[in-house]
């Protein structure tokens, strides 16, 4: 029974990682860029949700939508200002820019509001224990999992059933051919950043509810773990990011459940090392090393 509880907790945590990892993998699939500022977009989403609840006195769904909209706009601004001018630059220049944008977001946030942490109101989503088939499961974990799954299904619908989704897949396959076919590549890339950032904003609100405490540097570790999840599933592959995030969450919960809670963060990076050694393309990718 303890194992089932740990699995449910792990899947709930993994769904948060999966939402963040989707942003990494979508952007990489389109422009071959690892957006290391993505974890800080997640942090901004968490704070937008917090202030929406505490200052505007709205419920969970309006706070979630407001955080997603704010992060979508932020993602497009970052892409247009920081990444678009470097579209044809060396990869190291883009990587350094991504790290710079990450630090800029963190320390502008600290400058504007200070470094003190905040606590999400417990009334936003009261936590109750539910007993299902003899297993005690947190209602909060189930709600977080349900919300994350709805967002993942919505993303799959957008990618496979809408015009912008078809444009994203075309640009991912061959940007020049897509441009010749009349697709606006710049707008498609901006839309990709917007969708990925919106999912990170949603993950920020869910994370705030799950862990209660939020602070300006909170995006660093979840962002890195989500990157590990994207690599685990296969960077650039959307189903891979989902599965990678869920697997990573389950592994962390099992490590904690076995009494090695101090090792739970290290477990993610051990997985990254093993994946890069034995299957660098990830679980869903073709096992071929990309030429740099």
Residue 217 is assigned to a structural domain of this protein: yes
**For residues 246 and 71, what is the distance between their CA atoms, to the nearest angstrom?**
23
Q: Residue 242: inside a domain, yes or no?
A: yes
- pLDDT value at 16 more than 70: yes
Which band of pLDDT confidence, cut at 50, 70 and 90, is reported for residue 22?
very high
Number of domains in the chain: 1
Q: Would you say residue 85 lies in a domain? A: yes
What local confidence, expressed as pLDDT, does residue 1 receive?
66
pLDDT of residue 60: 92
pTM over 0.85: yes
Q: Name which residue leads in pLDDT, 134 or 168.
A: 168
**8 Å CB contact between 79 and 189:** yes
Domain of residue 240: give its range. 2-278
Q: Residue 285: inside a domain, yes or no?
A: no
In a domain, 220, yes or no: yes
**CATH code assigned at 82:** 1.10.3470
CA distances from 79 to 9, 10, 50, 158, 263 (A): 34, 32, 25, 20, 35
User: Is residue 209 one of the residues assigned to a domain?
Assistant: yes
Among 132-141, 149-158, 269-278, name the one with the lowest average pLDDT.
132-141
pLDDT of 258 reads 86
Where does the pLDDT of residue 290 fall: very low under 50, low under 70, confident under 90, or very high at 90 and above?
Answer: very low
Report, as an integer, the average pLDDT of 265-274.
91
Q: Tell me how far apart the alpha carbons of residues 109 and 35 are, in angstroms, rounded to a whole number.
A: 19
pLDDT confidence of residue 287:
52
Low-confidence winner among 17-26, 120-129, 148-157, 199-208 (lowest mean pLDDT): 120-129
């Amino acid at each position: 029974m303890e194992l089932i509880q740990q699995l449910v907790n792990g899947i709930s945590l993994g769904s948060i990682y999966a939402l963040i990892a989707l942003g990494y993998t979508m952007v990489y699939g389109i422009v071959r860029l690892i957006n290391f500022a993505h974890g800080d977009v997640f942090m901004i989403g968490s704070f937008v949700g917090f202030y929406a609840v505490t200052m505007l006195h709205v419920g969970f769904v309006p706070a979630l939508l407001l955080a997603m909209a704010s992060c979508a706009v932020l993602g497009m601004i970052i892409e247009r200002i920081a990444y678009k001018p470097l579209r044809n630059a060396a990869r190291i220049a883009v990587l350094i820019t991504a790290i710079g944008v990450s630090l800029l977001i963190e320390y502008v946030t600290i400058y504007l509001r200070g470094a003190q942490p905040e606590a999400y109101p417990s009334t936003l989503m009261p936590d109750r224990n539910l007993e299902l088939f003899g297993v005690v499961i947190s209602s909060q974990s189930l709600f977080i999992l349900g919300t994350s799954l709805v967002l993942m299904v919505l993303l799959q619908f957008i990618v496979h059933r809408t015009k912008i989704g078809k444009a994203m897949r075309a640009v991912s396959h061959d940007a020049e051919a897509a441009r010749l076919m009349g697709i606006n590549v710049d707008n498609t890339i901006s839309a990709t950043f917007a969708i990925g950032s919106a999912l990170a904003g949603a993950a920020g609100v869910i994370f705030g509810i799950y862990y209660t405490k939020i602070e300006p540097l909170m995006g660093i570790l979840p962002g890195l773990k989500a990157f590990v999840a994207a690599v685990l599933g296969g960077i650039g592959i959307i189903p891979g990011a989902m599965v990678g995030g869920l697997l990573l969450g389950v592994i962390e919960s099992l490590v904690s459940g076995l009494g090695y809670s101090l090792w739970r963060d290290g477990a993610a990076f051990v997985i990254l090392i093993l994946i890069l050694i034995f299957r660098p393309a990830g679980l869903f990718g073709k096992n071929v090393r990309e030429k740099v």
